[in-house]
Amino acid sequence: MGNIFSISLSLDPIITRCRDCATGQASYICNLEDNLHALENQVRELKAIRRNLMSRVRVAEDEKQLKRLPQVDLWLQRAYRVINDANQLIVQSPQHVENLCMGGCCSTHPRSSIKFGKKIAKKLQEVKDLKENGDFSDVASKPPLPPATKRPSEPTVGLESNFNKVWSCLQKEQVGISGIYGLGGVGKTTLLNQINNKFHDATHGYHVIWAVASQDRPIERVQDQIAKRIGLSNEGWKSKSLDEKAEDIFQVLCQKKFALLLDDIWEWFDLTRAGVPLPTQENGSKVIFTTRRLDVCCQMQPNMDNNIRVECLPPGEAFKLFEEKVGSETLRMHPDICKLAEAVVEECAGLPLALITIGRAMASKKTPREWEYATEVLRQSAASVLPGVGKEMYPKLKFSYDCLPDERFRSCFLYCSLYPEDYLNEKDELVHCWVGEGLLDEHTNLSNARNQGHFVIGSLIDACLLEKGQNNVSVKMHDVIRDMTLWIAGESEKEKFFVKSGVQLKEQPKAKKWEEVTRMSLMVNQIENLTEILECPNLQTLFLGRNELKVIMDDFFNFMPMLRVLDLSENMNLEELPVGIAKLVSLEHLNLTRTGIKKLPVELKTLAKLKYLNLEWTRDLKMIPQQLISSFSKLQVLKMHGCGYGCLLVLEELEHLKYLNVLTLTFGSFSELEKASRFNKVFSCAIEHVSLIDFRDSRSLNMTALAKLQHLCILWLWRGVDLEEVKIESNIIEGAGCFHSLRNVNLAGCNHLRDVSWVTFAPHLEELEIYKCNGLEEIISEEKLGEVSELKGNLNLFSKLKITLFLRYLPKLKTIYHHALPFPQLKEITIDECPMLKKLPLNYNSAKGQGLIIKETRGGGKM
Q: Are residues 171 and 259 in the same domain?
A: yes
Domain count along the chain: 4
Termini Cα distance of the chain: 71
- Residue 143: other Cβ atoms inside 10 A: 12
How far is the CA of 822 from the CAs of 43, 289, 322, 798, 800, in angstroms? 44, 47, 37, 8, 9
Burial class (CB in 10 A: 0-12, 13-18, 19+), 217: middle
Structure confidence at residue 11 (pLDDT): 47
Q: Are residues 607 and 660 in the same domain?
A: yes
Asked whether residue 440 is assigned to any structural domain, the reply reads no
Query: Is the confidence at residue 533, as pLDDT, over 70?
Result: yes
Domain boundary pick from 112, 141, 170: 141
Structure confidence at residue 564 (pLDDT): 97
The pTM score is 0.63
Q: Are residues 710 and 859 in the same domain?
A: yes
140-189 pLDDT, tens per residue? 877 666 777 888 877 777 788 888 888 888 888 888 899 988 766 778 88
Query: Is the confidence at residue 348, as pLDDT, over 80?
Result: no
Instruction: Identify whether the C-beta of residue 710 lies closer than 8 Å to the C-beta of residue 739.
Output: no
Amino acid at 51: R
Confidence of residue 24 (pLDDT cuts 50, 70, 90): low
Structure confidence at residue 605 (pLDDT): 94
Highest average pLDDT, of 157-171, 447-461, 625-639, 842-856, comes from: 625-639
Asked whether residue 258 is assigned to any structural domain, the reply reads yes
Asked whether residue 51 is assigned to any structural domain, the reply reads yes
* Distance from C-alpha of 502 to C-alpha of 523, rounded to nearest angstrom: 6
Q: Are residues 186 and 214 in the same domain?
A: yes
Q: Are residues 648 and 736 in the same domain?
A: no
Coil, helix or strand at residue 161:
helix
Range name among 372-376, 492-496, 686-690, 795-799 with the lowest pLDDT average: 795-799
Structure confidence at residue 748 (pLDDT): 93
Asked whether residue 30 is assigned to any structural domain, the reply reads yes
Confidence of residue 390 (pLDDT cuts 50, 70, 90): very low
Domain assignment of residue 843, given as a range: 699-863
For 811, phi then psi, to 5°, come to -65, -25
Asked whether residue 283 is assigned to any structural domain, the reply reads yes
- Residue 736: other Cβ atoms inside 10 A: 5
Q: Are residues 665 and 728 in the same domain?
A: no
Structure confidence at residue 184 (pLDDT): 66
Nearest to 318 by CA among 286, 352, 279, 341: 352
Q: Are residues 745 and 803 in the same domain?
A: yes
Query: Is the confidence at residue 820, as pLDDT, over 70?
Result: yes
Q: Are residues 674 and 745 in the same domain?
A: no
Q: Are residues 655 and 609 in the same domain?
A: yes
Q: Are residues 773 and 841 in the same domain?
A: yes
Query: Is the confidence at residue 129, as pLDDT, over 50?
Result: yes
Structure confidence at residue 485 (pLDDT): 85
Structure confidence at residue 638 (pLDDT): 95
Residue 262 belongs to a domain with what CATH number? 3.40.50.300
803-819 pLDDT, tens per residue? 788 999 999 999 988 88
Q: What is the dihedral of CA 244, 248, 250, 256, to 10 degrees?
A: -170
Domain boundary pick from 110, 141, 172: 141
Domain boundary pick from 288, 309, 330: 309
483-532 pLDDT, tens per residue? 778 888 887 777 789 999 988 899 999 877 889 899 999 999 999 999 99
Asked whether residue 381 is assigned to any structural domain, the reply reads no
Residue 100 forms beta bridges with which residues? Answer: 107
Confidence of residue 370 (pLDDT cuts 50, 70, 90): confident
Q: Are residues 132 and 169 in the same domain?
A: no
Structure confidence at residue 566 (pLDDT): 98
Amino acid at 795: L
* Distance from C-alpha of 141 to C-alpha of 721, rounded to nearest angstrom: 33
Confidence of residue 607 (pLDDT cuts 50, 70, 90): very high
Instruction: Identify whether the C-beta of residue 841 lies closer than 8 Å to the C-beta of residue 794.
Output: no
Percent of the chain scoring above 90 in pLDDT: 31
Asked whether residue 330 is assigned to any structural domain, the reply reads no
Query: Is the confidence at residue 46, as pLDDT, over 90?
Result: no
Q: Are residues 214 and 66 in the same domain?
A: no
Structure confidence at residue 277 (pLDDT): 94
Asked whether residue 326 is assigned to any structural domain, the reply reads no
